[in-house]
């Protein structure tokens, strides 16, 4: 039975893998606000993506018009560097099972979500899409990056051999409501928010952060990525690879100052330069998507305020 939208037009059936994650939740929420899409969320409770047969049957039964792959094992610099085997193996299994299950359905459009960490360590900034696989990866997260690069290569092979339409989106560092705030496995923004908040509550006078604070980073509020995906689907763009960034960068030290103010932490911030900085600068060239008419709507300050509000509203759940 067809699902009809405005004026009786058939809705686009969109299957979203990883619907309980930071990105997946945002995509489900933003797409559900539109009458253009019939949204089908999928998470670990409904499907084991490590099981190829189960994944294949799931896709065969639903036959979606669009598949968005937002499923991944993700983490910050510490988790990536320590759990290296888990990061490459789990992400490889997820991506391989989804893509191989889609092999019989070249009419299904695929949006594969990657990461800016796929780009080489010493590549010129801002980083253009043409820089993919043009140098050595940054060492602390190379297993995760290799899994993401493999997914892109598999998708490219499917497109060339079987005619699939696969759009690989490379967002910059994402943050927002629903993020992972675990201090040992989170990315930089949720990790800082948790540390500053806990230090304030426990009356600790200082917070220690990894590195020397000088690396430059670009951040994108997660709902802006979701809006970019909706935009690209409506515009029916079929590029191979598109960067999605905010086109603004900030040092880790400056970022810590903003988060310190938002959380109202009054102590000192110490940077431990015995710990790795990671890549010193990672700034995406987002001129392709902006040339199509899209741009992010959320400033860093506003996004951080929204994220901290969500953190406060869900603090008891986060700590449990």
175 is catalytic: no
Structure tokens at 284: 């995406």
Phi, psi of 13 (to 5 degrees): -85, 115
Q: Which of 144, 194, 221, 308 is catalytic?
A: 144
Give CA angle at 68 (62, 72), nearest 5°. Answer: 110
Which positions are annotated as active-site residues? Answer: 144
């Amino acid at each position: 039975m067809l699902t009809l939208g405005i004026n009786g037009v058939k809705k686009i059936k969109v299957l979203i893998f990883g619907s309980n994650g930071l990105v997946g939740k945002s995509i489900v929420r933003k797409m559900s606000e539109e009458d253009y899409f019939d949204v089908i969320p999928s998470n670990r409770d409904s499907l084991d993506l490590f099981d190829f047969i189960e994944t294949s049957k799931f896709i065969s039964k639903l036959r979606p018009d669009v598949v968005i792959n937002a499923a991944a094992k993700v983490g910050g610099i510490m988790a990536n560097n320590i759990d290296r085997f888990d990061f490459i193996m789990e992400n490889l299994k997820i991506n391989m099972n989804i893509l191989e299950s889609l092999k019989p359905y070249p009419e299904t459009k695929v949006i594969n979500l990657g990461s800016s960490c796929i780009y080489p360590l010493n590549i010129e900034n801002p980083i253009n899409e043409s820089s993919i696989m043009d140098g050595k990866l940054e060492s602390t997260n190379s297993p995760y990056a290799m899994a993401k690069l493999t997914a892109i290569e598999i998708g490219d092979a499917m497109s060339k051999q079987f005619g699939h339409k696969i759009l690989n989106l490379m967002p910059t560092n994402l943050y927002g409501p629903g993020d992972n705030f675990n201090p040992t496995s989170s990315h930089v923004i949720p990790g800082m928010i948790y540390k500053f908040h806990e230090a304030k509550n426990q009356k600790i006078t200082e917070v220690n952060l990894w590195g020397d604070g000088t690396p430059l980073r670009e951040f994108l509020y997660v709902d802006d990525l979701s809006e970019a995906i909706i935009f690209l689907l409506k515009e029916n763009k079929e590029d191979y690879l598109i960067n999605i960034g905010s086109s603004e960068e900030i040092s880790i030290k400056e970022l810590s100052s903003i988060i310190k103010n938002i959380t109202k932490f009054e102590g000192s911030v110490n940077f431990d330069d015995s710990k790795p900085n990671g890549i010193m600068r990672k700034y995406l060239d987002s001129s392709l998507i902006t040339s199509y008419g899209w741009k992010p709507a959320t400033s860093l300050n506003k996004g951080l305020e929204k994220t901290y509000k969500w953190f406060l509203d869900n603090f008891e759940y986060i700590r449990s």
